[in-house]
Amino acid sequence: MKNRNFLVFFILINALQGFAQNPVIDSLKKVVQHAKEDTAKVNTLNKLSDAFWRISKLDTALIYANNAQALSVKIGYKMGTAAALKTRGMAYYTRGDFPKALECDSIALGMYQNAGSKADIAEIFGNIGIVYSDMEDYYRSLDYYGKALKINEEIGSKAGIAYNLGNIGGSYMFQGNYPQALEYEFKALAMCQQLADNREIAMNLTNIGITYWYQGNYPKALEYDFKALAIQQAIKNKRGIASNYCNIGIVYVSQATEAQSKHNAALSDSLYKKALDFNFMALELKKQIGNENSIARNLDNIGGIYKEEANTVRSRNEAARADSLYNKALDYYSRTINIYSKVGNKAAIGEIIGNVANIYTVQKKYKLAKIIYDSALALVKNSGEKDVIRDQYGGLAELEGVTGNYKEGWDDYKKFILYRDSLINDDNTKKTVQAEMNYAFNRKTDSTKAEQDRKDELADADKRRQNIITRSVTGGLLLVLVFAIFVVRSLRITRRQKQNIETKNKIIQEKNKDILDSITYAKRLQDAILPPMNLIRQYLPDSFVFYKPKDIVAGDFYWMERAGDIALIAAADCTGHGVPGALVSVVCSNALNRTVKEFHITEPGKILDKVRELVLETFEKSEANVQDGMDISLCCINIKTKETQWSGAYNSLWFIRNGELHEVEADKQPIGKIDKPIPFNTHNLKLQKGDTLYLFTDGYADQFGGTKGKKFKYKQLQELLFANAAQSMDEQKNMLETTLDKWKGNLEQVDDILVIGIRV
């Protein structure tokens, strides 16, 4: 059963909760239908987005936020854009997509800072703090909460101060600093009581209960949970009531486990029953609210309680009852999977079916367990959630062990250890800051003790040394001559070896220098095939090229040529990167030049057909079976009429018009040797003034990074470009570089990166 991050999640959702009722939403929809394209319509779209976010309809919330942002950009309404980004950030946070949430919050923060809107700045600081808290980066979260608190104190916002104090308490709680957490949470509670804000009073009581639960003080946890529940029931807040029911249920599960450890079976069974009762009451309320994700989490919790109770009962050798409880757990896991399948949450499904496989292992249904574990791994491997992947390999290793497949079990166990150690390393990194904070005090304490120890050791050593000297002088003198002869001989041998090593090192260094010089010179040659930026802007003045090779030389290259009134520009990705990729890029660039200059072809599809012919002709001269080639996005723009044609090999074209992003799909074949090649298609585009085109290779989308080491992916790149489409070309290029550096962090760049932007 998952220990969810209740504290911060509840504060964010409920502190901002208000009018998200269907009649209000219906009213806002009617306003939007008849509104002019002005700031009032933007504000209404933002209100709709916020309303749908509050009832956890995140996809709908994002649609309205995107529409609000697009219209704001179109009419130049910066505060509307910032508000849309803020809501998008909250929706992405609620969905668990923390990198996107931070990206939206960061852009919104900059816009609010430029406008000098302190209340909005404080709110964004708080939201960023919440995201970092869920990412378990509590030091950053405290930093942002502190910034928000300072601004709210300056502007005298008591509600904002209470909100920030509660969140600061939450960060201290998750660090295990419970006294400090309770200090801030009680301050927040007192301020909410002054404001007579029952909703916030209930939330702070809930948070205090959670802190006591983490502390292991279950009676105190229940005391505050029930106080919070009474207020939620009085104000008829179904969402809050359901949340408190779940919290109370979790406390009862903890008490049941504690009772079983003390061999009190009757009390343990009673507490499991209470835990289930409260979760069933929460489930009924969530069904009334209609939040699918929340229902799924509740079903998962119920399945987890049955599984936990079954394990407890099995330890008492009550096999039949344990099987009955396992079957109930399987039933609720099945219901959870059905809901997550609808919303496409593959990582959650993988985690749950891993629990299912674990139950089948216990029930000795080994073949079925193996199939399900394999399915779980297939679902979670791309999630980046190392703890979930680790658990699947651990379960598989256990399964292979009990079935006698020791070789497979050993392989799975090694992978389990690999992911476990990776998590430990991640955890150690997070603890580094804490260690540094404690370092000064520990060093002072340790140095005092070490100084005394050193003095004692010196005194003892002096006594021992005198004894050793007295006893050893006579024998030592006899050995000196022998050792002297040995040392002289050894020195001669060592000197010869050292000379040989130095000679070899010098040769290696010279060879390395030669290789590096050759590669550096190759870069000069490759740079010569790249068109200078001033030439590109001579014909396409409103444009940028973001080009970041992985190594000194690259397989990606950009290309441009002029044919009368037509400007041809391309983003190309040749097989490989580094020196091999660079060699292929020279062949492909030369083929493009010949096609336009020598064969006078300017239609994109026909250009790619001819380039493929020339590339194959070049490689067929080799006796080796060369399979290299390139993917490409090629655009032809008439400088005078703006008529545009485009063709692509695997790499698509995106363009943004009037706040909407469109994609023109490429042909699914490369420039290179393939079976059954077909002619490339030419797409005729009717572009309008202000349209922005994007040509790119796969390097940016494939870069690993973020908190979970995942790929950036095309969808996130689309959203990044869309969110910044109104910026100048230079600002967009800087934004791409800044975002990439932040995403990549300390990870290695995995491929060459190329993005070209052109505003018509």
Residue-level pLDDT at 713: 92
pLDDT over threshold 50, residue 450: no
Q: Please compute the mean of the pLDDT values over residues 694-711 and round it to a whole number.
A: 90
pLDDT of residue 466: 53
Q: What per-residue string of b and e applies to 324-351 under the rule 16 or more CB within 10 Å gives b?
A: ebbebbbebbebbbebbeeeebebbbbb
* Structure confidence at residue 69 as a pLDDT band (50, 70, 90): very high
> Which segment of 164-173, 459-468, 680-689 scores lowest on mean pLDDT?
459-468
pLDDT for the residue 253: 92
Strands (E), 452-548: 543-548
pLDDT of residue 403: 81
**Least confident interval from 103-112, 450-459, 563-572, 721-730:** 450-459
Instruction: Tell me the residue range of the domain where 301 lies.
Output: 237-344
Q: What pLDDT band is residue 435 in, cutting at 50, 70 and 90?
A: very low
| 462: in domain | no
Q: Are residues 106 and 245 in the same domain?
A: no
What's the pLDDT score for residue 528?
Answer: 63
250 in the same domain as 102: no
Q: Which residues on neighbouring strands pair with residue 545, listed in sequence order?
A: 756
Whether residue 167 is contained in a domain is answered as: no
Residue 747 has pLDDT above 70, yes or no: yes
Same domain, 102 and 247: no
Higher pLDDT pick, 131 / 378? 131
What is the model's pLDDT at position 444? 34
CA distance 170 to 144: 13
Residue 84, pLDDT above cutoff 90: yes
* 292, pLDDT greater than 80: no
Contact by Cβ (8 Å): 111, 123? no
Stated as kind and residue range, the H or E segment containing 661 is strand 660-664
**Domain boundary residue, one of 281, 316, 344:** 344
248 and 106 in a common domain: no
**Both tokens assigned to 695:** 């040509």
Q: What is the pLDDT of residues 154-202, one digit of tens each?
A: 999 999 999 999 999 988 888 888 899 999 999 999 999 999 999 899 9
CATH of the domain at 89: 1.25.40.10
Q: How confident is the model over 215-242, as pLDDT tens digits?
A: 899 999 999 999 999 999 999 988 889 9
**Does pLDDT of 436 surpass 60?**
no
End-of-domain residue from the set 54, 88, 116: 116
Domain C-terminal end among 99, 116, 133: 116
Find, among 518, 274, 720, the residue nearest to 282 by Cα.
Answer: 274
Q: What pLDDT does 164 receive?
A: 92
Answer yes or no: is pLDDT of 646 > 90: yes
- The residue among 325 and 382 whose pLDDT is bigger is 325
Same structural domain, 108 and 242: no
Share of the chain above pLDDT 90, in %: 39
Q: Does 468 map to a domain?
A: no
Average pLDDT, the chain: 81
| Residues 695-709, mean pLDDT to the nearest whole number | 90
- Report the amino acid identity of residue 480: V
The pLDDT value recorded for residue 278 is 94
| Closest to 569 in 3D by CA, of 535, 594, 600 | 535
Per-residue confidence (pLDDT) for residue 542, from 0 to 100: 92
Residue 476 has pLDDT above 60, yes or no: no
Say yes or no: 111 and 250 in one domain: no
User: What pLDDT, on the 0 to 100 scale, is given for residue 523?
Assistant: 66
Residue 380 covered by a domain: no
DSSP 680: P
Task: Provide mean pLDDT across the span 718-742.
Answer: 91
Q: Which two tokens stand for residue 11?
A: 């504060």
Domain assignment present for residue 312? The answer is yes
Give the model's pLDDT for residue 302. 93
Asked if residue 269 belongs to a domain, the reply is yes
Asked if residues 334 and 371 have their Cβ atoms less than 8 Å apart, the reply is no
Q: How confident is the model at residue 506 (pLDDT cuts 50, 70, 90)?
A: low
48 vs 488, residue with greater confidence = 48
- Copy the structure tokens of residue 729: 């070309």
Is residue 143 included in any domain, yes or no? no
Q: Is the pLDDT of residue 37 over 80?
A: yes
Same domain? For 583 and 722 the reply is yes
Classify residue 372 as exposed, middle or buried by CB count within 10 Å of its CB (0-12, 13-18, 19+). buried
Total domains, the chain: 3
Examine residue 181 and state whether it is found in any structural domain, yes or no: no
Give dist(CA 735, CA 727) in Å, integer. 9
